[in-house]
Every structure is written in structure tokens, then in C-alpha cells.
Chain A
């Protein structure tokens, strides 16, 4: 996966959004709720930052299966996120605009028979088949992938996971350092930091927030 830097930036932006939302909705909730919210933010941030891949669609689809995740997904993905009531109903109109969850759910439930995919001798053998099955369960959306796609998506997924871990570790370090500074500053009376107003105008005003949120990320198919 190229362009790790832009991925990390996009991921961080989405994490920020997720953290803000979780503070609003779970501010008074249990620690467990906040943990799940952060975890959800991180996964959605990773999928959005990566863009459209089979595994990102698979990930969003599996996340949207859980009730408590839906409002967050709805907010982050906007009109691209729709919960189809019935997948097989012919009366259900497929909107022209691309709907990632619709495709993801179809994608997950489809059992593609891989007549197209060549029978590679590289992946023959029961042990390999067993391990391939395990990998299919680990990679989001893996169940309906052919061998080649599975390997390709696995590479991408693993690289993104790695980047996700790196960014979260850096974030952890930064926040710990900030907290340490704040705690030691609290020891002695001091003037307030002037850095906050600098970022304040970009971020903390409701106008700025709404403006930023109106630019929803697009997972193009």
C-alpha cells in the first residue's frame, strides 16, 4: 500500500471525528461503552482512510450488522450508508447512487462459485486449504473471495492494520505527553496555553465543525 502518509492523515481525521461523536453520545456512559466507541472509530477510520477495497466494504458491512454501530456509521458515511430492509425483494428499488453497504451485504451473502478462478497448484493441499479458510475468516469479506483476491486483499488489509497500530501508538504517546504536561503545569500556577486558540478557530466552533462534517468521505465503488 503506497501513500502511507495520506492514509495516516485520513485515519487521524476520522479518529478525531469518531472521538468527538463518542464523547457526545457516550459522554456519561460506562467505560465499556467508550471503549467500544473508540474501537468502532478506529475501524471505521481505517476503512474510510483506505477507501474502496473488498475488505473495507466487508468491514463496514460486518460492523453495520450490530445495532449499536448503525447511528455512528450513518453519521460518518452519510447518504452512502443505507440499511436495506430486504435484500432479495424485487420491489426494493436500487438507488442510482452507489451504496456501499448494500453491495457489501450482497457481497457477504453471495457464495461465489469460482469457475473463473484457475485451479492453482500452489494453493492445493488440505493443510493449505485449511489455513486459507482461517484467513478467509480473518480478512473482512474474505468468505466470498477467490484465492487471488484473498491474497491481494490480505496484503492490503495487513498493511492497513499495521498503519492503524502505528498511528494509534503515536496518538497514545502524544496524548500521554500532553497529559503529563498538563498535570505538571497544574502543579504551579501559570498562564493558560495560547496554543488552544490557534486550533480553536479551525476546529472548536460549531460552524467549523458542521462545515467539516458536510464534506463526507466518499467510498467510491
Chain B
């Protein structure tokens, strides 16, 4: 009953963990064996933090760049990219 339920959920959790592992850049390279859960969580946190830092940095650079451009051409450029894809 309850043990069966936790077994199924453990499988699902294991699946999520392996998906997470393949998502992270470092653990993908390592290949052999599976990182411990603690290590995996740490890698995940680091990854998310670095992505957020990148977004912050890109936001800064984008706003700085747009200061030097006129708004219309910046927006037109975005529209062009939208139409292209």
C-alpha cells in the first residue's frame, strides 16, 4: 500500500533526477556513474544562479546599448527578428 506508492514515486523522482543530471552542463560531461543527490542539487543551484546572473548582465548590456540607439530602430530590429523566425 504505502510502500508500493513510495516505490513508484521513487522511480519518478529518479527519472527527474536523471533528467536534471542531463540538463546540467558539468554532470553531462562526466558521463560515468551518477552524482550523489546532494552534489546534483548543489550543481543545480549553481546553474540556476549563474543563469540568473547572465540574465542580469544581459539586461544591463541591452539597456546600455539601447541608450545609444534610437528606440524605433531597436524595436524595428526586434520585429524583424520576429518576422524572420
Residues of A within 8 A of B (CB): 5, 8-9, 12-13, 15-16, 19-20, 23, 27, 31, 34-35, 37-39, 42, 117-123, 125, 127-128, 131-132, 134-135, 138-139, 147-148, 151-152, 154-155, 157-159, 161-162, 164-165, 168-172, 174-176, 178-179, 182, 195-196, 199-200, 202-204
CB within 8 Å for A122 and B17 given contacts A158-B23, A175-B69: yes
Which of chain A's residues have a CB closer than 8 A to the CB of B68? Answer: 179
Give the most central of A8, A42, A154: most B CB within 10 Å: A154
CB <8 Å contact, B81 and A174: yes
Tell whether B30 is near chain A: CB-to-CB under 8 Å: no
List residues of chain B with CB within 8 A of the CB of A35: 59-60, 63
When distances are taken between beta carbons in the complex, the residues of chain A under 8 Å from B38 are 125, 127-128, 131
A175 to B73, CA, bound (A): 9
Which residues of A lie under 8 Å from residue B72 when comparing CB positions?
Answer: 196, 204
Provide the B54-76 mask, 1 if CB < 8 A to any CB of A, else 0: 11101111111111110111111
State the interface size on chain B (CB cutoff 8 A): 53
Chain A contacts for B77, CB-based, 8 A: 174-175, 178
A31 and B63 contacting across the interface, CB-CB below 8 Å: yes
In the complex, how many angstroms separate the beta carbon of B8 from the nearest chain A beta carbon? 9
Across the interface, which residues of B come within 8 angstroms of A119, CB to CB?
6
Q: Are B65 and A158 in contact (CB under 8 A)?
A: no
Q: How far is the CB of A35 from chain B (nearest CB, A)?
A: 5
The answer to whether B64 touches A31, judged by C-beta atoms less than 8 angstroms apart, is yes
Q: How far is the CB of A167 from chain B (nearest CB, A)?
A: 9
Per DSSP, chain B at the interface is helix
Prevailing SS type, chain A contact patch: helix
Q: How far is the CA of A132 from the CA of B2 in the complex (A)?
A: 24
Task: Determine whether the beta carbon of B63 is less than 8 Å from that of A38.
Answer: yes
Complex Cα spacing A155 to B47, Å: 11
B28 within 8 A of A: no
Nearest-Cβ distance from residue A49 to partner chain B, whole angstroms? 13
B62 near A182: Cβ-Cβ < 8 Å: no
- Please name all residues of chain B whose beta carbon is closer than 8 Å to the beta carbon of A164 when the two chains form the complex: 51, 55
Residue among B10, B42, B76 with max Cβ neighbours from chain A (10 Å) = B76
Q: How far is the CB of A53 from chain B (nearest CB, A)?
A: 15
Name the one of B2, B6, B10, B20 contacting A155, with C-beta atoms under 8 angstroms: B20
